[in-house]
Each structure stands twice: as C-alpha cells, then as structure tokens.
C-alpha cells in the first residue's frame, strides 16, 4: 500500500542528511535521527548539539523556543510525559523535535521536523508554530488534538508532509493546507472534518491525499482528474453523486484510489482503463449501477479490485478475470448475471474471488430469484464510447480524450 512508501524522514530529508548518518528510534515517539560524528542531526535527546556561533542561527532557535513553549502551554494532557523534555532553550534536545544544518550558507542548526505520532497529547495547534519555516514534516497522528488549523500555517514554506490523522479535528476542510506552497503529502483521515471537499485539493500538486474516515459530504469535485496524486483515499465519508467523468483523465501514475463506503451513484466511468499503473481500486459499499466498462480490462497492474456491495449488473467481463497481476477480485452483493470461463479459473490461480449474492444462474450463494427479477438501474445509460474490438488499450487515451473534450464552437 502507498502508505508504506512514506517512510517519515527517510526520503524527505535526504537533502540534509549526510550519507554516513546513522538512524535510530528516539524515545518511542517520533523518529530520532542522529549523527554522532558531526552532530548534524539533533533530536529526541541527542546531546551533541553544536553551539551556535555569534551571529548564527541563534535567533532562529530563539524563535523556535518561543513557538514550542507557546504550543506546550496549549497542550492540556500529556499522559506519556513526552513534553517533560521540552524545557530549556535547546529545542533540538526536545523529544520529537529534529534539527539539521540548513542548506544555505547560514550556520545551523534549525528545526526541520516535528514527529509526535502516538504521543496521545490533548490540546490545540497554535499560530506560533508557523515561525518554523524550515520544517519539512509535521507528524501528529494518533493524538487528541482538536479545533482547527491556524491560518498562519500557510507560512510553513518548507513543509512537505502534514499528517494530522487520527485526532479530534473538526469543522470544514482546512483550506489553509492548500496554501502551504510545497506540501506533497496531506493526511487528514480519522477526524471529524465535514462539508464539501474543495476543488483546489485536486489542483494542488499533492502526491498523496488521505481524507478518509471523516464526514465530508456533497459530490466529488468535477476536477478530480486534474490531480497528479499517486494515491487518493476518500473512503468512509458521506460523498454522493456520480464519480466525475474526469476520473479517467488523471495522471497515469496513480497507484491507489479508494472511494468505498460513500453514497456514490451512477456508472463506473469508462476512463478507468487509463490507469495502467493502478494497483488498488476499491469502490465497494456504494450504489453504483450499470455494466462494467470493457476498459477495466486495461488495468494491467491491478492487484486488488473491489466492486462489492453496489448495484452493478451484466456480465463480469472475461478480460477482467484474466488480468495477470490480480490478487483479489470482489464482486459480491451486486446483480451480475454471468461469469466467463476465465473467472472460474481464478481459483486455480490462487486469486481471491468472491461473487456471492449476485444473480448468476447455476451458482451457489446467489440472491433469491425475486430479487433478480428487477435489475436496479436497468434503464440507466452509461454513455459508453464505442471502442474497437478487440479493445486496444494503448489507443484508449486518445479515444476517450477526443470524446470527453468540449467540442469546438
């Protein structure tokens, strides 16, 4: 899964870690990165902090000290005593705070990261955090922070990773995150954010978008296809309406899309076949209807395809069941009426395949016949664009873009 590729500071901090740096976990909270040889990285209690020379970054550290003390005063419960180390002026010795020499000619160190994952802290975020303009990551998952994000967060010009997952944040989508200029990884999952998802989320150059397990509602913005993200997770919200037709015009580099457990309706867009590098597609637990598009057979890298608990009908296409990388195919709890011989061979390939509770004649564990007498969405037109037979996946993009683009006046 794509979450595994975000290994905290291992990738984002390569520009400041020398090759001989040693890595180690610090205090069980966050990621301590140390270099006993030169003291370049200081964090989580490392004691070899370089003494700032006159006219060096002392003013930066003084500002960081004032900011972190302001934040500490807004934290009302610290059961693991993480902040017991947040005393004195040496912020680079604070647990969960990481420092490094800056890239420019100025002497260091500066605060480049804060990782307080799983610290179980209760409190709020304060505007003073925004003075940490050299900070590349802010990881606060699995705490009890509440309220909203300060508008001053837009001043975090170096921030690339923001992980606020599994907290108690609420209110509308925190639009200030869209003004953080270099943000690449946005994780807001498992909170209580509500209301619509702004269109600008999909205009921003984010590589990972995790908005699942909130209370977002309304429709998925129509500009979904503008996003260059490799993973988009909108699962377990209250989103409704159709999957945007631009769905298939997204970056072909997308690896995972999860829309499960919403209130989506309509058809699966034909453009799904453009995702030639997709590994996971999960649209289960919605109310999608109609037949599967033939283009779904172009998902050459797909490993997990979950279409369960919808109102889909027709045949499960032969080419879908013959996808080479497939590890799990779930079409249960729909209204499919037939399977191809290739689908029956999935069991011999050790592919997980669940087709229960459909309307397939002669198969066990299907719906009662009265439920199959009226197929949901029987009159639904999915506006399929004719494609050559046999389907040529390589020419699919040109065909779809030509048909989906606005006609010239």
Tens-place pLDDT, residues 185-229: 999 999 999 999 999 999 999 999 999 999 999 999 999 989 999
pLDDT of residue 25: 26
pLDDT of residue 37: 28
Chain centre distance of CA 375: 34
pLDDT of residue 56: 44
Interacting residues of 277 by C-beta distance below 8 A, sequence separation 6+ = 252, 253, 254, 255, 301
**What b/e readout covers 248-258, taking b as 16+ CB neighbours within 10 angstroms?**
bbbeeebbbbb
The strands making up 215-219's β-sheet, listed across from edge to edge, are 75-77, 122-123, 144-147, 168-172, 192-195, 215-219, 238-242, 263-266, 287-290, 311-316, 335-339
Q: Tens digit of pLDDT for each residue in 99-140?
A: 998 776 666 799 999 999 999 999 999 999 999 999 999 999
Residues 233, 406: Cα–Cα separation, whole Å: 29
Rg (CA), the chain: 25
pLDDT of residue 233: 98
pLDDT of residue 392: 64
Q: 165 is written with which tokens?
A: 């997952």
- Whether the CA torsion 285, 278, 214, 199 is positive or negative: it is negative
- Find residue 185's DSSP bridge partners: 161, 208
Do residues 290 and 312 lie in contact, with contact meaning Cβ atoms separated by under 8 Å? yes
Residues 137, 100: Cα–Cα separation, whole Å: 13
Residue with tokens 């979950």: 306
Do residues 32 and 96 lie in contact, with contact meaning Cβ atoms separated by under 8 Å? no
Provide block-wise average pLDDT over 10 residues at a time, the chain (409 residues): 43 36 30 29 32 51 96 98 96 96 75 98 98 97 97 98 98 98 98 98 96 98 93 98 84 89 94 89 97 90 97 91 94 94 86 95 94 83 60 60 50
């Amino acid at each position: 899964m794509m979450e595994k590729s975000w290994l905290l500071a291992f990738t984002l901090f390569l520009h400041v870690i020398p090759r001989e740096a040693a890595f180690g976990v610090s205090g069980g909270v966050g990621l301590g990165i140390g270099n006993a040889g030169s003291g370049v990285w200081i964090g989580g209690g490392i004691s070899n902090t370089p003494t700032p020379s006159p006219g060096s970054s002392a003013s930066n550290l003084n500002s960081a000290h004032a900011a972190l003390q302001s934040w500490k005063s807004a934290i009302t419960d610290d059961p693991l005593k993480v902040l017991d180390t947040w005393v004195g002026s040496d912020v680079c010795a604070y647990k969960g705070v990481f420092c490094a020499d800056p890239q420019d000619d100025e002497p260091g160190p500066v605060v480049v990261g804060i990782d307080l994952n799983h610290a179980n802290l209760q409190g709020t975020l304060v505007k003073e955090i925004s003075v940490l303009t050299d900070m590349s990551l802010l990881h606060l998952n699995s705490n009890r922070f509440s309220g909203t994000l300060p508008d001053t967060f837009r001043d975090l010009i170096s921030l690339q990773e923001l992980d606020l997952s599994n907290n108690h944040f609420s209110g509308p989508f925190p639009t200030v995150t869209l003004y953080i200029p270099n943000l690449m990884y946005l994780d807001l999952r498992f909170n209580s954010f509500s209301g619509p998802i702004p269109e600008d989320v999909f205009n921003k150059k984010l590589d990972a978008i995790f908005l699942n397990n909130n209370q977002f509602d309304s429709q998925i913005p129509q500009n979904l296809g503008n996003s260059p993200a490799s993973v988009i997770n909108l699962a377990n919200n209250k989103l409704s309406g159709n999957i945007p037709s631009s769905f298939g015009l997204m970056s072909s580099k997308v690896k995972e899309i999860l829309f499960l457990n919403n209130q989506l309706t309509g058809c699966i867009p034909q453009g799904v076949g453009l995702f030639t590098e997709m590994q996971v597609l999960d649209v289960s637990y919605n109310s999608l209807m109609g037949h599967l598009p033939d283009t779904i057979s172009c998902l050459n890298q797909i490993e997990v395809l979950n279409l369960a608990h919808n109102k889909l009908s027709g045949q499960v296409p032969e080419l879908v069941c013959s996808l080479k990388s497939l590890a799990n195919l779930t079409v249960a709890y729909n209204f499919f009426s037939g399977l191809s011989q290739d689908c029956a061979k999935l069991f011999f390939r050790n592919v997980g395949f669940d087709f229960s509770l459909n309307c397939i004649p002669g198969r066990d564990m299907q719906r009662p016949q009265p439920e199959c007498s009226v197929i949901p969405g029987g009159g639904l037109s999915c506006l399929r664009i004719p494609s050559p037979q046999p389907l040529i996946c390589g020419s699919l993009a040109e065909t779809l873009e030509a048909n989906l683009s606005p006609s010239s006046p």
